[in-house]
Copies of this chain bind each other. A is one copy, B any other.
């Protein structure tokens, strides 16, 4: 079992280190520390508001002294290339007996220095964004699987599409539904241990990668919770979003939103496109998704991490009123409203329940 030291140097915060933060949230017992010179000496709890007393170290040396057996890259370096400084740190980590786990577009195992060092030390480099060989062009086969397929879709990047699904797994299992999380991005793959980063495959095979994941996860499952990517109106990433929507053939969609988000892509420095009202997203996702396989938005997952409890409750109430759908923040509040919405959709698909409006 990996015991991770997470590399998040200079970027460890609630907003910027999405991968690091999610691994800490879902695999806290497997994280021995975070390397970040800016927050050195603090605990993860100090920085994120969760994560307990996992320490933040100011150097790789210090971090490696805690005897991790794996170093996980928890942030994306500016420009996507591996900084020279990181190469040195990662080589040291290999020498210290660690495997490397990376979701960067630049593959660590293509770096001759790191590859040689891994070989010499008998360690492994896991580039989880490297596409699997032999991906198909999707042919709509995911529409034929038995389980209820639920895809999380978003109003933007980085609003909580993966987290929404991960928060629902336990609640669904508690109701007797055999539920699997289907990872489509680097962080989800770290957490679940398998999956394909659909944003990293050749464009013609986005939907095919999603189809392959759904077909693989379907046997012996009642509900598949497929991790969504991007947003249908994101100027940079919408192609990934739509390929995933059409390749996974979801029966039901959970729409994910961050209550305080005003502009699309605000973490990417292009604040010109306003986030439209939630009912517009419901229309867009249902229209375009149903063009391949009939689908409905069945609930709203609201990310309220930066609000007070009262503001958060108000945001959920307003979203529910505007859309007529169940809405909760499944991290802050009880995920039950979304669990119930999925359970009902499952019963409709199984023919145990008749719905006038769904599917």
Which of A's residues lie within 8 Å of B, judged by CB? 105, 137-140, 198-204, 206-208, 232-244, 246-247, 265, 268-270, 272-273, 276, 283-284, 287-288, 291-292
Contact = CB atoms under 8 A, between A and B. Distances in A.
Nearest to A293: B235
Nearest to A233: B291
A106 to B, nearest CB: 11
A288 B292 contact: no
Contacts of A276: 291
A247 B208 CA distance: 22
Contact of A291 (B105, B270, B284): B284
Contacts of A206: 203, 239-240
Most chain B beta carbons < 10 A, residue from A105, A198, A239, A288: A239
Per assembly, the copies of the chain total 2
Contacts of A207: 235-239
A189 to B, nearest CB: 15
Given A268-B139, A270-B139, A235 B292 contact: yes
A239 B246 contact: yes
A235 B138 contact: yes
Given A138-B235, A207-B239, A283-B287, 19 more contacts: A137-B268, A138-B236, A139-B265, A140-B235, A140-B270, A140-B272, A140-B273, A198-B203, A199-B203, A200-B204, A203-B206, A207-B235, A235-B246, A239-B243, A239-B244, A239-B246, A240-B243, A284-B288, A287-B287
Nearest to A244: B239
Contacts of A105: 202, 204
Given A236-B137, A272-B140, A284-B287, A202 B204 contact: no
Nearest to A230: B204
Given A203-B201, A203-B203, A206-B203, A240 B239 contact: yes
A202 B203 CA distance: 6
Contacts of A137: 236-237, 268
Contacts of A247: 235-236
A331 to B, nearest CB: 26
Contacts of A291: 232-233, 276, 284
A14 to B, nearest CB: 22
Contacts of A269: 139
A250 to B, nearest CB: 13
Contacts of A270: 139-140
Nearest to A136: B236
A207 to B, nearest CB: 5
A140 B273 CA distance: 9
A290 to B, nearest CB: 9
A204 B236 contact: yes
A292 B268 contact: no
A201 B199 CA distance: 11
Task: Name the residue among A200, A207, A246 with the largest chain B CB count within 10 angstroms.
Answer: A246
Given A237-B207, A268-B139, A270-B140, A232 B288 contact: yes
